[in-house]
């Protein structure tokens, strides 16, 4: 019996492969993954692979082994170097590659790294990732002569971003790529766009010396807020560690959250494509779904997960989609994958076409009170069972429940959500209402259900 390679099972996530370098993730994992993905692609007559990597200190050695594994299966591997993840998606799409692999730890701390995968320009996730364990362990890999070619894709990628900029009034923009992989692309983009631009934390540094590269956490946007206010900018834009998630700050230094951003972008898209479906994840505010409907679009609620949303966009023909986490997907004039830099270009173009400021556009949206995303640690073995137990109890009560991803319960003027995280040993909670009194009641309802399933949490912990 041929024995190949066994991955630490904790690194095989729902949407990607991710672990702690030197502990759960090693260069030998990269080599075995390359050989396994190369075998899958070669068996379907695939010829081209594209590989990029982020700015983490561990990325170059993982990239080297990944390329070696893919080439050993007879593929011609295009190495595009240090790029943001959307540049990898773009290059894979343009070259019609059989497989694309981005070596990245995304927004995780510096000791993490991993792999985001596309196969034939489709998201590679869920059961496909889980099956890699068995395929690698069997070790029945194709052995054919391949090759490795170094190529620059950054120039073509940035040129494509600039192509869709809609000229209007010139704006002053602050940018914060957070010392992540989007640093160089951000500088090139700022040089190519009209208006004035202030770029901070542009030097790519995998230790992330200035702040953690996760723009969904408000404290990570403090430098950007300060820059916007000091420099009197029209807006500020931040990216996560690999450039596929966006954070936005308006001219008053107020954060525009993911669902608010999508509501603003939907105005532009639906004006050009009336009646189109727009997708958002189950964590998004009801304000967003109502706004899409008001604009004449068809709101579609989706399970959380960028790979799931990309697949559902293809199914529904939606020109726009987004998540609370800052993933924004444009199929309108673009390719339908999550690209934070492209989203920034479209936002700047739309704002430049308006006489109103970004803060005024934000203030036009109905005001709700809500909690942030709250993560409650539970065991991996229990998290999905807890959600099922809550669902059964709610069904017995006759509650108004949307169960496409966990349970989203409509009550009064608002809703509350409990879902199992696909990437962590945790439950995710969120509540929203028209006023503080109703929000307190919804928090209490969520806590009661968790308590009934043996999860210890107090209402005060829900923000």
Which of 299, 302, 300 has its CA nearest to residue 290? 299
| 244 contacts 85 by C-beta, under 8 angstroms | yes
Residue-wise DSSP of 100-145: EEEE--TTS-TTEEEEEEEETTEE--THHHHHHHHHHHHT----B-
Residues near 340 by beta carbon (within 8 Å), at least 6 away in sequence: 84, 86, 182, 239, 240, 243, 244, 245, 246, 326, 328
Looking up tokens 């439950």 gives 427
**What DSSP string describes 273-305?**
STT-EEEEETTS-HHHHHHHHHTT-EEEEE-S-
3-state secondary structure of 333: coil
Cα–Cα distance for residue pair 250/340, rounded to 1 Å:
16
Return the structure tokens found at 452: 């009934």
Integer CA distances (angstroms), 158 to 107, 348, 408, in order: 22, 15, 39
Q: Kindly report the backbone phi and psi dihedral angles of residue 340, in degrees, each rounded to the nearest multiple of 5, phi listed first.
A: -70, -35
Query: Cα torsion for 217, 219, 225, 226, to the nearest 10°?
Result: -160
- Name residues whose C-beta falls within 8 Å of residue 389's C-beta, 6 or more positions apart in sequence: 452, 453
d(CA 169, CA 165): 12
Round to whole Å and give the CA distance between 278 and 269. Answer: 9
Choose, from 106, 153, 285, 325, the residue flagged as catalytic.
Answer: 106
User: Could you confirm whether 92 is annotated as catalytic?
Assistant: no
Give the number of residues written for the chain: 463
Classify 326 in phi/psi space as left (phi over 0), alpha (psi -120 to 50) or beta. left
CA distance 36 to 38: 5
Rg (CA), the chain: 22
Please state, in angstroms and rounded to a whole number, the distance separating the CA atoms of residues 331 and 310. 10
143 in Cβ contact with 25 (< 8 Å): no
Supply the residues annotated as catalytic: 106
């Amino acid at each position: 019996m041929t024995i190949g390679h066994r991955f630490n099972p904790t690194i095989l996530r729902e949407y990607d492969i991710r672990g702690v370098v030197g502990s759960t993730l090693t260069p030998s994992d990269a080599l075995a993954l390359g050989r396994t993905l190369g075998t899958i692609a070669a068996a379907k007559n695939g010829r081209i692979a594209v590989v990029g990597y982020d700015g983490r200190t561990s990325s170059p050695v993982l990239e080297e082994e990944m390329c070696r594994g893919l080439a050993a299966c007879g593929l011609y591997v295009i190495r595009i170097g240090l790029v943001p993840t959307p540049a990898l998606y773009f290059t894979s799409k343009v070259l019609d590659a059989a497989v694309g692999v981005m070596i990245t730890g995304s927004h995780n701390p510096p000791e993490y790294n991993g792999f985001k995968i596309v196969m034939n320009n489709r998201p590679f996730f869920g059961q496909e990732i889980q099956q890699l364990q068995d395929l690698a362990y069997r070790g029945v890999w194709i052995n054919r002569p391949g090759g490795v070619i170094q190529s620059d894709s950054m120039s073509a990628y940035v040129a494509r971003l600039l192509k869709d900029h809609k000229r209007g009034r010139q704006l002053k923009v602050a940018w914060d790529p957070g010392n992540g992989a989007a640093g160089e692309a951000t500088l090139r983009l700022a040089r190519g766009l009209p208006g004035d631009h202030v770029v901070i934390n542009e030097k790519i540094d995998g230790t992330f010396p200035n702040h953690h590269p996760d723009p969904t956490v408000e404290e990570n946007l403090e430098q950007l807020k300060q820059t916007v206010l000091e420099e009197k900018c029209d807006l500020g834009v931040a990216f996560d560690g690999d450039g596929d998630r966006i954070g936005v700050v308006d001219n008053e230094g107020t954060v525009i959250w993911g669902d608010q951003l999508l509501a603003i972008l939907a105005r532009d898209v639906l004006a050009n494509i009336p009646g189109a479906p727009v997708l958002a994840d189950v964590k998004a505010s009801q304000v967003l779904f109502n706004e899409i409907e008001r604009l004449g679009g068809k709101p579609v609620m989706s399970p959380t997960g960028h790979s799931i949303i990309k697949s559902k966009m293809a199914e529904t023909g939606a020109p726009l989609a987004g998540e609370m986490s800052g993933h924004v997907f444009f199929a309108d004039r673009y390719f339908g994958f999550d690209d934070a830099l492209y989203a920034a270009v479209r936002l700047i173009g739309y704002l430049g076409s308006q006489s109103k400021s970004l803060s005024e556009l934000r203030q036009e949206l109905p005001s709700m009170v809500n909690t942030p995303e709250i993560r409650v640690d539970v065991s991996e073995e229990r998290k999905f069972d807890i959600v099922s137990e809550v669902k059964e109890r709610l069904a017995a009560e006759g509650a108004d429940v949307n169960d496409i991803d966990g349970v989203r319960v409509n009550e009064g003027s608002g809703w509350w959500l409990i879902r199992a995280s696909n990437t962590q040993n945790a439950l995710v909670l969120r509540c929203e209402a028209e006023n503080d009194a109703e929000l307190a009641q919804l928090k209490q309802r969520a806590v009661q259900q968790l308590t009934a399933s043996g999860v210890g949490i107090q209402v005060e912990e829900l923000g």
